[in-house]
């Protein structure tokens, strides 16, 4: 399902689009998403813009409670695709992330890297951004090509007020001005069944929804052989306060199961 060229693109660009690979799973994922919206977890967040129109909703880490998500994690080709893209002999499932943006939400997803929000380091990892409805390139995921190779991680911020997650910590750099014309941006129109695969270090974002229907997306996150626990200088997102791990350990597989290898 993955060509040698797509693997090379993923390794070099930090992002690649795979067409139609999950088309047989879209109905299942839609059912799971419906259930998720009707039964949000305690981790769910709703973002509003200043003029407070429709919502931008997110929820995380629900795969153990939503049968359709669990089926997808355990039975779909996602794990083997991840192994190929990451060039990893093993794959652990990290977490799921559901997002929807109402037609009138007017809230964009700001440029950011996911890795600094997580207690994970390493290069072998992948997020599968799976749109449940068609998107034009303008409303698709936007990724900064090659940003997964930047030597420093970008300071994560709270999306509500742009406050630093780890105030003043110099191991993180400020986000450069991505829209100044110096960066090469990847964004392709996508259909349900397609996936945008990107590295946890890839800087990405998305525009506010400006069509007259809601858009819904599921992101599934996986890690490979070199992924290791790292203590961040503050609370991570998602947060696992009872994780009880030390720097350099592989993620505990009772919480983050091995799904390939
Ligand atoms: O779809 C979006 O608005 C952003 C998705 C995102 O940031 C992610 O999946 O990590």
Q: Is the per-residue pLDDT at 51 higher than 80?
A: no
Q: What is the pLDDT of residues 174-188, one digit of tens each?
A: 999 999 999 999 999
Angle in degrees, CA 118, 190, 88, rounded to 5: 45
Domains of the chain: 4-235 (2.60.120.620)
| C-alpha 89 chain-centroid distance | 21
Distance in Å, CA 177 to ligand 1 centroid: 19
Q: Which ligand 1 atom is nearest residue 114's CA?
A: 10
Give the mean pLDDT of 3-28: 98
In this prediction, residue 185 carries a pLDDT of 98
Q: How many residues does the chain have?
A: 261
Q: Which residues of 245-259 are buried (b: 16+ CB within 10 A; e: fewer)?
A: beeeebbeeebbeeb
Residue 76 has pLDDT above 90, yes or no: yes
| Nearest residue (CA) to ligand 1, atom 2 | 206
Alpha carbon distances (Å) from 156 to 23, 24, 151, 171: 33, 35, 15, 11
- pLDDT of 123 > 80? The answer is yes
Is the pLDDT score of 128 beyond 80? yes
Choosing from 107, 216, 217 the residue with most ligand 1 atoms within 8 A of its CB, the one to mutate for a pocket test is: 217
Spatial neighbors of 23 by CB under 8 A, at least 6 apart, are 192, 193
pLDDT at 6 > cutoff 80: yes
Confidence band of 47 (pLDDT split at 50, 70, 90): confident
**Residue scoring higher pLDDT (201 or 159):** 201
Q: What is the residue-averaged pLDDT of the chain?
A: 96
Q: pLDDT confidence of 52, banded at 50, 70, 90?
A: low
Determine whether the shortest distance from the Cβ of 99 to ligand 1 is under 6 A.
yes
Quick check: CB of 109 below 6 Å from ligand 1? yes
pLDDT at 133 (0 to 100): 97
| Residue 49 scores a pLDDT above 70 | no
Residue whose Cα lies nearest atom 9 of ligand 1: it is: 219
Is residue 178 within 8 A of residue 144, CB to CB? The reply is: yes
260 in contact with ligand 1, CB cutoff 6 A: no
> How far is Cα 186 from Cα 143, in angstroms, rounded to an integer?
5
Q: Is the pLDDT reported for residue 40 higher than 90?
A: yes
What would the pLDDT profile of 206-243 be if each residue is shown by its tens digit? Answer: 998 988 899 999 999 999 999 999 999 999 999 999 99
Compute how many other C-beta atoms are within 10 angstroms of the C-beta atom of residue 260. Answer: 19
CB atoms within 10 A of CB 26: 18
- State the pLDDT at residue 167: 95
């Amino acid at each position: 399902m993955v060509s040698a060229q797509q693997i090379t693109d993923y390794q070099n660009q930090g992002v690649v689009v795979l067409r139609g690979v999950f088309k047989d799973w879209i109905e299942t994922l839609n059912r799971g998403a419906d259930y998720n919206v009707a039964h949000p977890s305690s981790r769910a967040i709703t973002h509003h813009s200043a003029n407070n129109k429709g919502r931008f909703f997110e929820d995380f880490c629900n795969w153990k409670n939503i049968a359709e998500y669990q089926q997808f994690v355990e039975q779909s080709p996602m794990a083997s695709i991840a192994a190929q893209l990451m060039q990893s002999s093993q794959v652990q499932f990290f977490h799921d992330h559901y997002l929807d943006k109402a037609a009138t939400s007017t809230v964009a997803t700001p440029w950011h890297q996911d890795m600094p929000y997580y207690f994970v380091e390493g290069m072998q990892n992948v997020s599968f951004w799976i749109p449940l409805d068609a998107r034009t390139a303008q409303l698709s995921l936007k990724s900064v090509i090659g940003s997964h190779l930047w030597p420093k991680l970008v300071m994560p911020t709270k999306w509500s007020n742009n406050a630093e997650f780890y105030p003043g910590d110099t191991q993180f750099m400020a986000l450069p001005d991505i829209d100044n014309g110096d960066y090469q941006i990847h964004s392709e129109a996508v259909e349900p069944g397609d996936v945008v695969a990107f590295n946890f270090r890839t800087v990405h974002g998305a525009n506010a929804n400006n069509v007259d229907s809601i858009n819904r997306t599921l992101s599934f996150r996986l890690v490979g052989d070199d992924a290791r626990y790292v203590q961040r200088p503050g609370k991570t997102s998602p947060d696992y306060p009872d994780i009880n791990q030390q720097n350099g350990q592989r993620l505990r597989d009772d919480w983050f199961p091995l799904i390939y290898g």
